[in-house]
Chain A
Amino acid sequence: MNRKMCVMAIAMLMTFQTGQPAGAAPSALQSPSENVAADIVQGAWLMYRHTFVSEDGRVIDNRNGEISHSEGQGYGMLMAVAADDRRSFDSMWRWTQSNLMVREDGLMAWRWDPAQTPHVQDRNNATDGDLLVAWALQRAGDLWQEPSYQAEAIKIARSIGTAATVDTPYGKVLLPGAAGFRTEEQPDGPVVNLAYWIFPAIEDLGRLTADFPADALIETGLKLLREARFGPAQLPADWISLKATPPAPAEAFVPQFGYDAIRVPLYLSWFSRDYPDILQTFADEWKTSPDDAPAAVELNTAARISPMSDPGYRAIVQVVRCSIDNRLSSHGIENFEPTDYYPSTLHILSLMAISERYPSCLTETN
């Protein structure tokens, strides 16, 4: 395996602490001052915080009725750690604990609506939100030497393993939520969402606690990435049924590569540069997109039904290029501008992926 670990200081710290063989890391490691993406993450985070995070630590989804969700809290916390902004991290974590940790199994209610009373109407979790919060806690514990964060991360990771994973003929999978996606709960269950496989998070949490079935999940995830491709474009669907072989777009959802699945190539690129074969499918799809903007794709016809033109979506295209070619296909990822919550989040996550995995892809000169 030719895994070159190009990580910024945070990731390096984490790597050493978790006992990862570190032989490959230092050679490619750039000093933080040369990590342009890391600097942009720091600065852009302040803008993001200014735009989407309330004083009391709530990450607000501005396009969705000003609601908040566990995913957003997790993203916010993750970005705050990357930007070394502990005060914001603490306030977001406090808000999350106070408002979303209302379940007995240690997972979070997925949705909080300021217009509803009670604000949490559905106590079900969203497993990607749980993963993100746990991962952010783990990284915060490493960066700020705060063992209590690690302890919380371990608790959540264990709960995910217990309450939100299930064994299938494809292997162990993440359920999108603890309730509603199992074999018996959907006509074509189990139903999974590949965008919930946050590979780098799964890998790190696996190092944190052996109770979290990271290896099995990663193995299944990679397998599904290769097998769950549909239609002429050969792209994964947002929601996938594992009832039969091969997998199929889930019946209860629109069969499309959409706003969920757009994260799949981002997470995989962030995880490793070792999967150009998988990523190439996405790159091929985007090669012919105007302005390097991805689009939602109807899978049966490969029709691009709506372009994703926000800079945040286009940033994902750049990350995938970095992973495949170690270069950007165009400029623009460095120009963060807050648009809406979701693409702005993806933009900063993309910058984080570059700063941690492909720092040489974005330098002062290019």
Chain B
Amino acid sequence: MLNRNQLTFVLLAACAVGAPISFATGEGPKPLNPLGTVGVPAQPVLPAVGIQPAAVGLSAPAVQPVNLPVGAAPVVGYSAQAVVMPVVPGNQYLDPQQFSPQPAPVPAPSAGIMPAAQPTAPVVLPSAPMQQQVQQPDTIPVRPGENPFARSPQSARAPAPQPASATHAQPAINAGAGTASPAATGEQKPPEVDETALRYYGQTRDFKRLGAELRRLKALYPGWEAPQNIFDAPTNISEQPIWDLFAAGNYAGAREAISRMQSETPSWTPSEDLSTKLATAEVRTLLERSYAQRNWREVITLAETTPQMMVCGEMNAMWLTAEALAYSRDYTRAFELYKHILTNCDDAVERQSTIQKADLVLPEAGVASLLAFGRTMPDGTPEFENLSYDRLRLKMGKIASGTAMMQIAPEQLQSFGDYVQRTGSAKDAALFGWFYYGQQNWQASYQWFVAASYIDQDAKNIEGIVLSLRNLEQPEKALELARQYAVATPELKKIYTELVSAILIDEESKVKLDETEIDLFATYVEEQQSPLGAQALGWYRLRAGEIKEAKALFTQSVDWEPTEGGVVGLAVMASRAKAWKTVTALKAKYGEQFAALDDIKVYRQQGVTQKKKRNTLKQETPNLLTRLFGTRPDDSKGQRPRAAVN
């Protein structure tokens, strides 16, 4: 069984970086999912997986709204066969029709998952107060794309006219709330102009040809400006050593080399290219260092005074600056800077990262508004659709791991479910799996894990299926799958061991295990040094009358780790052998730890050993005994345990 920490880890890993996406602002963004809330396509198009593509149906049954239109039966685009097959190709173990507790032919998904059919299914958790944001600045309900932190959203909507002089790019950093600046877009890409001839004429002082070339270039490239440095004299001094220092990140060394060369050759000046790049690099370094020192004020000042850092080519500097602004609680300008990036910069990965980074520092409303700057992708979907679900993912993860109780609107789940189905995101499908698993909606979790493993036969998805099946009381199916994948990961081997152990311990289990299975199991137990497995095998041997083997197994189990089942097993063996000293010794050694030893004289092994959680044992044992014997024996001294009688 996965322990809680592992589960949490899995969930958090699946969530990656969470993005608080707010749908709570008054006017709220329009639904980002163009599919709306219903209308799951009957045959969703999935990425080519190569396995039974015709019958693919990655469905999101669990989040279907309660009141489906009658005519919308195929809305649950779920084909049991199709979904199941890919997990274990050629294997029917996972066929819900075969394992479903429902006798009727399955729309198992809908029956088991839809709230309408199973009202108790906690598809939406009862309300608990939403987690409060630590920082709650004043925000103004705004339309997507507007700055929710601007004091006057009106003025933010109507950019202040720029002075005629503002012909150069004005960094977004300087764009305050009231001057959402058109210059924020001002990153003009200079045309690629061949200035070779220009420089030649400049250096040879042939002004007539220089003028003619200028005229020609201006006609070719309207808006082009002659560079400042065309008269720089060609020099024999090679800048290469300085460039080498520059490339190695040794900016101080490069500066030193420049001044040394200048003192040797007073007429020499470094090329404009070198000067500019070096200066920029120095500021970049300073900015990064200031950021590392959490000197937000310095970061902001550097950015304000170095407009050339606020360009797409200096993405990291812009990110750091925006974060510094946000940490200084200047959300208005932080927003403007993120907006500047999303408006002007084209690198797809950086754009995604921008949203994720903004999400870490901006309050919800800001990120929600920034999502509006997403572009429409070639396939018609919104650029940031995936990221827009990050907050929901985080919530689902927390709910699944039990670290938080919060409410998720059904329509959000529905929308997300549609998205997952449409995009075939295995990770998200698995998240749905764990989400419902955490709510003990095994049917739903099973469906989602199956869906996830259809895309990605990740061991974690298989685990999800196995665990769901077990909880659906389909131990045979669970066992089959676990056995098949036991060698895949230690985790699955452990789950397999636990499954077999549970069957062995449960005297009334209907699952019959053949010797091959027992041998395999024994091998794994040995391999994993599993105390549970050893003692379970012990009880199995004991029932078969193989006393010696049983005793050895119990001893082995306690050797590896004293557990209640193992210790009680030893006590029972001793009791059978009337080795009362041993019993007494065991009680003395483990009595405090394992309360079941108190009842050793009336012990029935399956009663205690089925309990796995030690902390619930004390509470449950009396009930169990009451159920078994009607009354709690007040003094069983000398009486042989029932188990021993068998």
Q: Which residues of A contact B (CB under 8 A)?
A: 32-33, 36, 38-44, 46-47, 50, 83-85, 87, 90, 94, 146, 148, 334, 336-337
* CB proximity of B191 to chain A, nearest CB, Å: 15
Main secondary structure of the interface of B (DSSP, over half): helix
Given A85-B226, A94-B165, A43 and B218 contact (CB-CB distance below 8 Å): no
- Closest chain B residue to A364, Cβ basis: B208
In the assembled complex, B231 has its CB within 8 A of some CB on chain A: yes
Provide the residues of chain B in CB contact with A87, threshold 8 Å: 167, 225
Name which residue of chain A comes closest to B214, CB basis.
A42
B231 and A43 form a contact (CB under 8 A) = no
Residue pair A47, B226 in contact (C-beta under 8 Å): no
A-B contact pairs, 18 of them (CB 8 A): A32-B215, A33-B212, A33-B215, A36-B208, A39-B211, A39-B212, A40-B207, A40-B208, A43-B201, A43-B211, A43-B212, A47-B202, A47-B205, A47-B207, A50-B228, A90-B164, A334-B207, A334-B208
Q: Is B589 an interface residue (CB 8 A)?
A: no
Q: Which residues of A contact B164 (CB under 8 A)?
A: 90, 146, 148
Given contacts A32-B215, A39-B215, A90-B167, contact A46 B225 (CB under 8 A): no
B167, A43: Cβ atoms closer than 8 Å: no
Q: Does B151 contact A (CB under 8 A)?
A: no
Q: Smallest distance from the beta carbon of A41 to chain B beta carbons, Å? A: 7
Question: Is residue B230 within 8 Å, beta carbon to beta carbon, of the partner chain?
Answer: yes
Asked if B411 is at the interface of the complex by the 8 Å CB criterion, the answer is: no
Beyond the given pairs A39-B215, A42-B207, A94-B165, 9 more chain A to chain B contacts, judged by CB atoms under 8 angstroms and listed by A's residue number, are A33-B215, A36-B208, A40-B207, A42-B210, A43-B212, A50-B228, A90-B164, A334-B207, A334-B208
B138 at the interface (CB under 8 A from A): no
Min Cβ gap B197→A in Å is 12
Taking CB as reference atom, which chain B residue is nearest A362? B208
A-side contacts of B208, CB under 8 Å: 36, 39-40, 43, 334
Instruction: Kindly identify, within residues 173 to 229 of chain B, every residue whose CB is under 8 Å from any CB belonging to chain A.
Output: 201-202, 205-215, 218, 225-226, 228
The one of A32, A33, A84, A336 that contacts B207, using a Cβ cutoff of 8 Å: A336
Chain B residues, CB < 8 A from A336: 207
How far does the alpha carbon of A148 sit from the alpha carbon of B231 in the complex, in Å? 33
A38 to B218, CA, bound (A): 14
Q: How far is the CA of A87 from the CA of B202 in the complex (A)?
A: 19
- Contact across chains for A42 and B211 when beta carbons are under 8 A apart: yes
Shortest beta-carbon distance from A116 to chain B in Å: 26
Instruction: With both chains docked as a complex, state the minimum distance between the C-beta of A80 and any C-beta of chain B, in angstroms.
Output: 11
User: CA separation between A292 and B206, bound complex, in Å?
Assistant: 23
Q: Is the CB of A43 within 8 A of B225?
A: no
Q: Output the least CB separation between A149 and chain B (Å).
A: 9
Give the residues in chain A near B210, CB-CB below 8 Å.
42-43, 46
Asked if A43 and B206 make an inter-chain contact with CB atoms under 8 angstroms apart, the answer reads yes
On chain A, the residues within 8 Å of B209 by CB distance are 39, 43
Distance between Cα atoms of A90 and B165 in the complex (Å): 7
For A83, the chain B residues whose CB sits under 8 A away are 211, 214
Which residues of B sit under 8 angstroms from A43, Cβ to Cβ? 201-202, 206-214
Complex alpha-carbon distance, A334 and B212, angstroms: 14
CB distance from A303 to the nearest CB of B (A): 36
Instruction: Indicate if the CB atoms of B211 and A47 lie closer than 8 Å.
Output: no
Bound CA span A328–B211, Å: 21
CA distance A36 to B209 in the complex (A): 9
Q: Is the CB of B218 within 8 A of A46?
A: no
A41 to B212 CA separation, bound complex (whole angstroms)? 10
Say whether B205 contacts A337, CB under 8 Å. Answer: yes
Min C-beta distance of B616 to chain A, whole Å: 79
Query: Complex: how many Å from CA A117 to CA B212?
Result: 43
- B410-440 to A contact mask, C-beta < 8 Å, 1/0: 0000000000000000000000000000000
Query: CA of A336 to CA of B201 in the docked complex: distance in angstroms?
Result: 13
Smallest CB gap from B232: residue in A: A50
Which residues in window 146-170 of B have CB below 8 A to A?
164-165, 167
Identify the closest chain A residue to B216 (Cβ): A33
Asked if A44 and B211 make an inter-chain contact with CB atoms under 8 angstroms apart, the answer reads yes
| Least CB distance, A185 to chain B, in whole angstroms | 38
Q: Which residues of A contact B207 (CB under 8 A)?
A: 39-40, 42-44, 47, 334, 336
- The interface centre, meaning the residue of A41, A50, A337 with most chain B CB atoms within 10 A of its CB, is A50
Nearest Cβ in chain B — how far from A328, in angstroms?
15
Chain A residues positioned under 8 Å from B231 (CB to CB): 46-47, 50
Asked if B215 and A42 sit within 8 Å, CB to CB, the answer is: yes
Chain B residues, CB < 8 A from A148: 164
A337 to B204, CA, bound (A): 11
Expressed in whole angstroms, the Cα–Cα distance for A46 and B167 within the complex equals 20
Identify the closest chain B residue to A148 (Cβ): B164
Task: Report the Cα distance A36→B201, complex, angstroms.
Answer: 15
Evaluate contact between A46 and B215: CB separation under 8 angstroms: no
Contacts A38-B211, A44-B211, A46-B210 known; A84 to B218 CB distance under 8 Å?
yes
Tell me whether A46 and B165 are in contact in the complex, defined as CB-CB below 8 angstroms, given that A39-B212, A40-B208, A87-B225 are known contacts.
no
Cβ contacts under 8 Å, B201 to chain A: 43
What are the nearest 9 A-B pairs in CB distance?
A43-B210, A42-B211, A43-B207, A39-B211, A43-B211, A44-B207, A39-B212, A42-B214, A40-B208
Decide: B165 and A41 in contact? CB cutoff 8 A. Answer: no
CA distance A85 to B167 in the complex (A): 13
With A and B bound together, what is the CA distance between A209 and B297 in angstroms?
Answer: 52
Q: Specify which chain B residues have a CB less than 8 angstroms from the CB of A32 in the assembled complex.
A: 215
